[in-house]
Structure 1
């Protein structure tokens, strides 16, 4: 296992958090896999998924099973850059029931807001954080998976799908200011540059897309408010999957807010639309506490950031809400049995050995 401490992380964020996603990406995967000589039916059966997922885009499946299919299929000798290839094949209609509603939003900003509103029809795992600074806008992809790292293919798939959505709003030839990935670059960038354009950076500080504020608010010439209303009425008739627990809602909010220094209960409450006292009471009724969920998310994010060479230990401490690196080191050692610098060294050594073995 590449990420040391994974078993400990399962205690934090794996077992009690049901993370489900639509099976739409598997309908895209089927064609790409077949072209690469991979049997998609066998690949699904090996992780316990029903092959009907290959033809039924609106099924809700475990995100972990999807990740395992992609990881097994995306070997360099078989189908490199699988996630990007699926993202490249994505169309607005692949968003399913919300597609018509998204198509008739007045701006890309409104599209992203509605993606969050109708997340229950799309994915429990994905959130998009919009950070604006003067004329520059960063669309951060935030993935909640219950694993120390979502996996390269899942990250690239999600960024690719987001980019296809941006192009659906801004034009098929649109090129962003930049597309960023926190993981290392692959051996070949051909597929990435064909899809994203020339400005693709790896070993970056985040996963996401950089655009301008003007592009975020550019009027959509195809928007029709009457059709948007009609589509919204149809969405109201859609059966809603079992609602997430309040603890799951808090976890997802914290994954977005903690790196922005907003891990207190007040900003989380505002995001969820409830009063802080009400939120505390609801968590207590389910046997949870806000502080324990903050600790859980901090642990998940700390391992994810430490596994990247880009972040110093001081950077990681700041990103997970510690103003002093000494306090972060004490907390991390108590959680994982070793200081963060040693955990990182062990993790990167394991990664280097793994790459060396693959190279031979």
Structure 2
């Protein structure tokens, strides 16, 4: 289930995400005080892992570091060397989980407490799985290095459990291909795709049931509760002031993953009696069936933009029992079949 968060003026991220950044940048010839100052930060802000950093400034930190060190892939390499035990509370939410599968579910569902205005999803499709990540704050434009370092951090959580030689099948990035893209393939030991609909690790199910080396259910609950409690004191992580339509769409997107998308299911997710939700929708001239179709269409376009996603798997992800039913619906929405839409748009969707 994806988690969104953040409504304050500036989105934030816990300072644990910057653990070791001073020494890392100094080792690469950077002037950390100058880099941090240009990003709008002070090095004093890195000292306490539970303090909050401005997320936009955190992203700019690596943009400025790339210029200062003349290393265009500095975010990539920061993520590759990052020890998940240093990621603070969110790191231990994953590391203390019972199994690898639990670790990925907990990471995705709790990441919003660590970093605001961010979407994380753990999606299972057939033999392949995806761990998706994207900042959803339109004011934050310098996202490339953050995406690359975060995919590295996520990868290292899996390597912590499955061994240092573990590698994903593919890694997807939203941004365009940089000049030194071969370094990405070396770092992840995987195929890399750029200009995708989101940032993702794509990998097989092998090892998903393996126990996490440091599994501890009691400590996990302590850490999880601490992370949630800490989030309550951060104004950008207050309960989102979403419109009714936005709330319903958010719950539909989450419900698609388990297939329970009937109107009473969504009302239950929102802790409302179905008749109350129906009345509120009517007050805004909204129809649940129209919102369901709108959400499915948007999700279909997002998945079709990923060339490796099989159309029958997309149909299942969107809670269609038959691929033919999905194809009919998509033709009604777009005027063409899913396959025809993908072929027509493939040139713009792949690097």
- Whether 1:233 and 2:227 are equivalent positions in the alignment is no
Match of 2:253 among 232, 257, 262: 257
CA contact (8 A) 2:112 2:119 kept: no
Counterpart position of 1:112: 104
- Whether 1:218 and 2:214 are equivalent positions in the alignment is no
Counterpart position of 1:179: 171
CA contact (8 A) 1:21 1:125 kept: no
- Whether 1:32 and 2:32 are equivalent positions in the alignment is no
CA contact (8 A) 2:73 2:180 kept: no
Residues 3-61 of structure 1: CA deviation (Å, up to 9, x unaligned): xxxxxxxxxx9985542111223233322322333222222233432321233322111
Deviation at 1:112, TM superposition (A): 2.1
Deviation at 1:76, TM superposition (A): 8.9
Residues 286-320 of structure 1: CA deviation (Å, up to 9, x unaligned): xx9999xx9xxx9xx99xx8xx9x9xxxxxxxxxx
Unaligned runs of at least 5 residues, structure 2: 308-329, 336-347
SS of 2:33 mapped into structure 1: helix
CA contact (8 A) 1:257 1:268 kept: no
Distance 1:248 1:75, change over 3 A: farther
Distance 1:274 1:21, change over 3 A: farther
- Whether 1:135 and 2:127 are equivalent positions in the alignment is yes
SS of 2:129 mapped into structure 1: strand
Unaligned runs of at least 5 residues, structure 1: 1-12, 311-320, 327-344, 346-360
Q: Distance in 1 between matches of 2:89 and 2:217?
A: 12
SS of 2:35 mapped into structure 1: helix
Distance 1:126 1:90, change over 3 A: farther
Q: Distance in 1 between matches of 2:331 and 2:238?
A: 29
Q: Distance in 1 between matches of 2:262 and 2:276?
A: 8
Q: Distance in 2 between matches of 1:59 and 1:107?
A: 29
Residues 41-89 of structure 1: CA deviation (Å, up to 9, x unaligned): 2222334323212333221112111122222222396221122112112
Q: Distance in 2 between matches of 1:91 and 1:154?
A: 16
Deviation at 1:270, TM superposition (A): 7.0
Counterpart position of 2:272: 275
TM-score normalised per structure 2: 0.64
Match of 2:238 among 244, 247, 255: 244
Q: Distance in 1 between matches of 2:55 and 2:69?
A: 25
SS of 2:195 mapped into structure 1: coil
Distance 1:221 1:59, change over 3 A: closer
Counterpart position of 2:313: none
Distance 1:138 1:290, change over 3 A: farther
SS of 2:120 mapped into structure 1: strand
Residues 309-352 of structure 1: CA deviation (Å, up to 9, x unaligned): x9xxxxxxxxxx996569xxxxxxxxxxxxxxxxxx9xxxxxxx
TM-score normalised per structure 1: 0.63
CA contact (8 A) 2:122 2:130 kept: yes
CA contact (8 A) 2:22 2:32 kept: yes
RMSD (Å), alpha carbons: 4.6
Q: Distance in 2 between matches of 1:39 and 1:164?
A: 27
Counterpart position of 2:66: 74
How many residue pairs get aligned? The number is 288
CA contact (8 A) 2:35 2:68 kept: no
